[in-house]
Structure 1
Amino acid sequence: WEDLMKRINEMENKYLKDLLNNIFSDEDVVAKYRSAPGGEYVHHGFVGGLLEHVWEMIDFAAPYQKYYPEADYDLVTAGIILHDIGKIIEINQVGTVFEFSTEGALLGHMQLGLELADKNRPKDMPRKLWTHLAHIIISHNGMFAEQKPVTIEAAIVSVVDFGSSRVRQYQQQMKDGLEKPDEISQYSKFIESRVYIGDRVWE
């Protein structure tokens, strides 16, 4: 968590930095963000899963700066940190059990995250910058979202989000199959495929 706050305070864009610091000045938000799952069960579905998912995405996005310098990486980082923040409201945690809240079931995490960010944005934040950040939040599900990514920053966030979540699903299938004699898993409705769960001994 301390590393994430350090990353935020290293941002050059004061509006994004102030927005994030406004959000995380609320101790209740911080506690929920640190303990929330990345999802109810699809990926990173465990206590602290959201924070782990966010860090994976930040790490995945870092090499893009070399190849795509046109993008604003403060905006990318802020988008990554906020893309799933609505899940702290969408999903209730009872011990290690997760269930949808009423607001979560009715509005979904993108709308809830957008509302939380909007409530905490600095009054002097340029409308153009806010629109680009809001776009990342509502388009981060990429091909699965109603609003597709239109900006390069939204595209990067969408791609690294998909990479983190999808590869984690494969990893989970492999872990679940450790004690099984089969080399191929049962069909996964989330991956829309079966997964090879056998060993990597080639000879």
Structure 2
Amino acid sequence: MDQSNNGAGASQLSKPRKPINQLADAMSIDQVFVLGDKQQRTNRQGSQYLLLKLTDRTGTIVAMLWNADNDTYDQLERGGYVQCAGRTQIHQGALQIILSSIAVADPPTVNPADFDRFDADAADEAETTLIEILTGLTNPPLKQLASCYLNDESFMKRFRRATAAVSNHHAYPGGLLRHTVDLMEICQFMGPRYQRVNTDLLTFGAFLHDLGKIEEILCEGELTYSDRGQFVGHIVIGIQMLGEKIAQYETETEQAFPAELRLHLEHLIVSHHGQREYGSPCLPATMEAIALHHIDNLDAKVTSFDSLIESSMGNQDHWTPYLPSISRKLWKKPDVPNA
């Protein structure tokens, strides 16, 4: 690539880009994104077009390129930087970009900090809370088992960056830790209010419930499922990880881990989706499992709806557009009137 192109790229790098979460309807766009996904499709008239998923550190947006040829599709790499020009519009309640052009971005035009969705400060804060909760458990076997996870540097490093999902709730690097800690804090608040709920067991179940996603989902670059995730899934992986840590516990303590406690922990993992059709091999059968399922679902739903509101904040109305995925509009004005 010649020096004149590099000079132009360096000049463009100094030009601020508009983050995805600040885009609004009818806005002209000419800037770099990460290509999260690409699909080549054919419309009813037989013309090819590209359906794309563009990302930056603030979110994801769908983009369309009409009358696209095979060469354009082949040149674009998932997870790569792309220079996009076009205009935003609202379609079926969601903001998207209609592209006039797309090309592989010139490296000097890219500021990697615009696209790294991992927030190290937020992860530090969440990890501190995680450690405080787990080291504060009163059940000795659970407290010792927790130390097997906390003292595993490789595990903790991956846990900090893991995502809770490919889409929907907490779908970003660091999202799994945030989701896990939020659940554990809710468990600490809610557990003591119900006589039949063991708060330590419930809290530890919240810690364990989605740990298999560390192996299930790849979060470097495009969020996508690993081969192990596709073949096995995070529930089975989580059970396997628990077995490995219990074996470590027994080696370090030279004592058998309580068999009944192990069954309760395994049940919390396998039942947390709540229904067989949602992926749980078993229905929740203990008070802790019932509570965990509903707490997990609450956090996922509220966070998902919050993301829908966030994605439509460019619209100045107090309501989002109609959202077909949830069959309603959502109130999004942040302030609440005084009584």
Same fold (TM > 0.5): yes
Amino acid at match of 2:272: H
Of stretches 118-127 and 173-182 in structure 1, the one that deviates more from structure 2 is 173-182
Quote how far apart the aligned CAs of 1:64 are.
Answer: 2.1
Number of residue pairs the alignment of both structures matches: 199
1:119 paired to 2:253: no
Which position in structure 1 is the counterpart of 2:227? 102
1:186 paired to 2:323: yes
Q: Quote the Cα distance in structure 1 between the aligned partners of 2:215 and 2:193.
A: 36
Of stretches 45-54 and 56-65 in structure 1, the one that deviates more from structure 2 is 56-65
Which position in structure 1 is the counterpart of 2:284? 149
Q: Do the aligned residues in 2 keep the contact of 1:173 with 1:195 (CA within 8 Å)?
A: no
Residues 118 and 180 (structure 1), Cα distance of their counterparts in 2 relative to 1, 3 Å cut: same
- TM-score between both structures, scaled by the size of structure 2: 0.55
Q: Quote the Cα distance in structure 2 between the aligned partners of 1:28 and 1:169.
A: 30
Q: 1:48 aligns with which of 174, 179, 184?
A: 174
Which position in structure 2 is the counterpart of 1:84? 210
Gaps of 5+ in 1: none
Quote how far apart the aligned CAs of 1:40 are.
Answer: 1.2
Quote how far apart the aligned CAs of 1:65 are.
Answer: 2.8
Q: Quote the Cα distance in structure 1 between the aligned partners of 2:139 and 2:230.
A: 34
User: How many percent identity over aligned positions?
Assistant: 28
Q: Quote the Cα distance in structure 1 between the aligned partners of 2:336 and 2:245.
A: 52
Higher relative helix content:
1
Quote how far apart the aligned CAs of 1:197 are.
Answer: 4.5
Q: 2:183 aligns with which of 57, 67, 75?
A: 57
Which position in structure 1 is the counterpart of 2:158? 32
- Structure 1 moving runs of 4+ over 6 Å: none
Amino acid at match of 1:147: C
Q: Quote the Cα distance in structure 1 between the aligned partners of 2:219 and 2:272.
A: 24
Which position in structure 1 is the counterpart of 2:57? none
SS at match of 2:177: helix
Which position in structure 2 is the counterpart of 1:140? 272
Amino acid at match of 1:141: H
Q: 1:176 aligns with which of 305, 308, 311?
A: 311
Residues 71 and 180 (structure 1), Cα distance of their counterparts in 2 relative to 1, 3 Å cut: same
Which position in structure 2 is the counterpart of 1:164? 299
Quote how far apart the aligned CAs of 1:181 are.
Answer: 5.9
Quote how far apart the aligned CAs of 1:19 are.
Answer: 1.8
Residues 195 and 52 (structure 1), Cα distance of their counterparts in 2 relative to 1, 3 Å cut: farther
Q: Which has the greater radius of gyration? A: 2
Q: Do the aligned residues in 1 keep the contact of 2:212 with 2:235 (CA within 8 Å)?
A: yes
Specify which structure has the bigger relative contact order, considering alpha-carbon pairs within 8 angstroms and separated by 6 or more residues: 1
Higher relative strand content:
2
Q: Do the aligned residues in 2 keep the contact of 1:170 with 1:195 (CA within 8 Å)?
A: no
Q: Quote the Cα distance in structure 2 between the aligned partners of 1:18 and 1:66.
A: 22
